[in-house]
A = this chain, B = another copy of it.
Amino acid sequence: MGGDFAPKNVVCGALDAARESAGRLSVILVGPKQRIEEEVRAARGGAAEIVHAPDVIDMHDSPTAALRSKRDSSIAVGLRLHHEGKADAFISAGNTGAVMSASTLILGRIKGVSRPTIGAVVPTAKQPCFMVDAGANVDCRPQHLLEFAIMGAMYMSTMLGRTRPSVGLLNIGEEENKGNEAAQTAHGLLRKSTLNFVGNIEGRDVLKGDVDIVVCDGFAGNILLKFGESVPAFLKARFVDFAGKSLRNTLVALIARGGLRSVLKELDYQEHGGVPLLGVNGVSIIGHGGSTAKAIKNMVFRAEEMVQRGVNTMIQNAMMEYHG
């Protein structure tokens, strides 16, 4: 029931994933049974088990209050299925705070992890990088930033095959004494760690793609990511203005439209299939509220990959190594 277009997009995307997997994946749809059945019928089939969850947590609910009062939300029921081993992973396009809190409560944290983190794959001029934290933790201690870096490095090596991925600390200057107190201390912790830490990077360096992992607190990370998401719409609006200025411009714009679309597509989060919550005992992926069916489908495939590649085992080992 999560997201602006639920349950339609969620049902369609999940069924598409099951169909494309040709029997490799089976999908359990969790939500108010009747609503979900209607959507499955409207989507013309696809086999999916439905598990009833009558309560709905919406985008404006306070996560902790909603988890207490709505014990049978699709979020809680789905995560319990995962925790009990009846599902191998959980995905949702619902209330981010509620999915995070419920995942941490129901699945528990991986030993040694103080705070689970959300990481986002960000397109760059080279290969994509991974930004942790993307909005889960707003007031971070230096130790948290170090743990985000460790979890991000494990994700990038396991999922994207980056050997010894490089880590940059998002900051407002290159020098180690730059930035707020948390960043200054985290710089030292990262420097002393066994990670491939390359130092501070600035806002202007993210899109250059020189580092594999961008570490930051979830406040700055979330603001930057959402700003980035808004750039395509801004440029399209400017382009429409440009096109309206003269007949010549209109013609140029008509010809250029496809090119611009192809370039801006790379900034489109829908392609990437949600953001994983790292540090919990399980696979929990959170989708954008505006997720299309395609985004949901990609989330299912990403969840499958996270299970198969054993990201959590890698994180667990790294945390054990770190804590000695």
Binding site for B on A (CB under 8 A): 60, 62, 124-125, 135, 138-139, 170-172, 175, 177, 179-181, 183, 202-208, 216-220, 222-231, 233-235, 237-239, 242-243, 249, 252-253, 255-256, 258-260, 262-263, 266
Contacts and interface: CB of A to CB of B under 8 A. Distances in A.
Nearest to A227: B203
B230 A207 contact: yes
Contact of A125 (B216, B218, B237, B256): B237
Given A203-B225, A231-B207, A242-B263, A218 B172 contact: yes
Given A238-B266, A252-B255, A222 B260 contact: no
Nearest to A135: B172
Contacts of A218: 172
A255 to B, nearest CB: 5
Nearest to A202: B226
Contacts of A139: 180-181
B252 A230 contact: no
B242 A230 contact: no
Contacts of A124: 234
Please state the number of chain copies in the assembly.
Answer: 2
Contact of A203 (B217, B224, B262): B224
A24 to B, nearest CB: 33
A81 B163 CA distance: 56
A218 B178 CA distance: 12
Contact of A60 (B175, B225, B252): B175
A238 B125 contact: yes
A233 to B, nearest CB: 8
B172 A223 contact: yes
A186 to B, nearest CB: 13
Given A238-B263, A262-B242, A62 B230 contact: no
Contacts of A231: 207, 231
A198 B171 CA distance: 29
Given A125-B237, A256-B256, A206 B230 contact: yes
A210 to B, nearest CB: 12
Contact of A220 (B220, B256, B260, B262): B220
20 contacts: A62-B177, A138-B183, A170-B223, A172-B223, A180-B219, A202-B223, A203-B222, A205-B230, A207-B231, A220-B220, A220-B223, A224-B224, A231-B231, A235-B235, A238-B266, A239-B259, A242-B262, A252-B256, A252-B258, A255-B256
A213 to B, nearest CB: 16
Contacts of A220: 219-220, 223-224
